[in-house]
Structure formats: structure tokens, C-alpha cells
Amino acid sequence: MSIDSVIHQVNMHFGRIDILVNNAGLGDNHPAVHVTEEAWDNMMDVNLKGLFFCCQSAGKIMLAQGYGKIINMSSQASSVGIVDHAVYCASKGGVNQLTKVLALEWSAKGVNVNAVGPTFTYTPGNSERLDDPAYLKGVLARIPNRRLAEISDVAGTVIYLASPASDMVTGITLMVDGGWTVQ
């Protein structure tokens, strides 16, 4: 099923689309010299290409109705380099730039576009690395408040950006990183 057909079905079922949260993403860690073209393409397809076409499809509906909130999941890795994460950092940096451009194009027409940039959050997708005491120690040493993000930290930020409280916020990547990117 295509992105356009899913967005169309949601719009037909609910009669409108007010909020889109682009939360699909891949993460992979390899030294840059070992990244294959296939690995590059897979991550860019999910993290950037898929996100763009979801924005475009829902954005057409939101622009026609004169209202919408799009929240793209980025990462702190969009703003800082992380060893062995060249492709991930590049894809999330692209998310930030895309968020800015869409905000410039669509905000005057009632569609706010923002991104959320979480730090390491303990999830099944990264538990293997974070369960390694040495790796976790290295991560926590880079976070000034010395803790991982919790899912509720990220969810609360998404809820804020989806709410009327953020009506004057557009084109930003709101970091939820315990201060990692201010260093």
C-alpha cells in the first residue's frame, strides 16, 4: 500500500487530518568505511525519503483545510557527530533541514512543521547497546543531566508540538537530550 493511499484512507475515515507524527526510523552503527550503498539507501529511504513523502501527502490535505501540525522525529545525532553513525547522523540532519523548508513553505497557510530530537532513549531497538555498562557509561558522560531520556520525555514533547500551545512554534527541532547538544 502506498503512502498516498494510506493518507487518503485516513482522511476519508476521519474527514480531515490535523496531526501527522513521522515516527518511523532506522538506526545502525558502523564505521563509515564499512557502510555499503545498500545500507545507506535503506536508512535514507526510511529516515528521510519516507518521511518527506508522508509530509507531502498529509501536507496537501492540511494545506487544503488550512490547518495542520506535522512533527518529524529527528535525533540529537542531527546536530552532533556520533562515531560509527555517519549515515544515521546524515539522515537526521536531513530531517532537520526538511523540517525548516516545509515550515517556510507551509506555515503561512496554517501548517506548522517541527521536529523532535531525542537523545538515547531505552527502547527494544537500542537495549543491546545500552545494556553494555561501558557503552552506557560513555553515553551518560555526554548527557549533562546524566540520564537517558524516557519515552514519556519524548511523548510529552510531541504532545506539546501537536497542541495549540505550540501555535507560534514552527520550523524548529526541539532537542530532548538532557543538554547533550549544548556542549
State pLDDT tens for residues 65-74.
Answer: 999 999 999 9
94 belongs to a structural domain: yes
* CATH label of the domain that carries residue 91: 3.40.50.720
117 lies in a domain?
A: yes
Q: Look at residue 182 and tell me if it is in a domain.
A: no
181 in any annotated domain: no
Condensed to tens digits (0 to 9), the pLDDT of residues 91-138 reads: 999 999 999 999 999 999 999 999 999 999 988 888 888 999 999 999
Range of the domain at 150: 3-176
What average pLDDT does the structure give for the chain?
A: 95
User: What letter would DSSP give residue 121?
Assistant: B
In what order do the strands lie in the sheet containing 173-176? 19-22, 68-73, 111-118, 173-176
Q: Each residue of 30-47: pLDDT tens digit? A: 899 999 999 999 999 999
Question: Residue 13 above 90 pLDDT?
Answer: yes
> Does the residue 8 lie in any domain?
yes
Residue 100 CA to its chain's centroid (Å): 13
Q: For residue 183, is it within any domain?
A: no
Residue pair 88/43 in contact (Cβ under 8 Å)? The answer is yes
- Please tell me the predicted confidence (pLDDT) of residue 128: 86
Q: At what angle do helices 86-106 and 37-44 cross, to 10 degrees?
A: 30
The count of domains in the chain is 1
Catalytic one among 88, 122, 135, 160?
88
Told to judge if 135 belongs to the known catalytic residues of this protein, a careful annotator would answer no
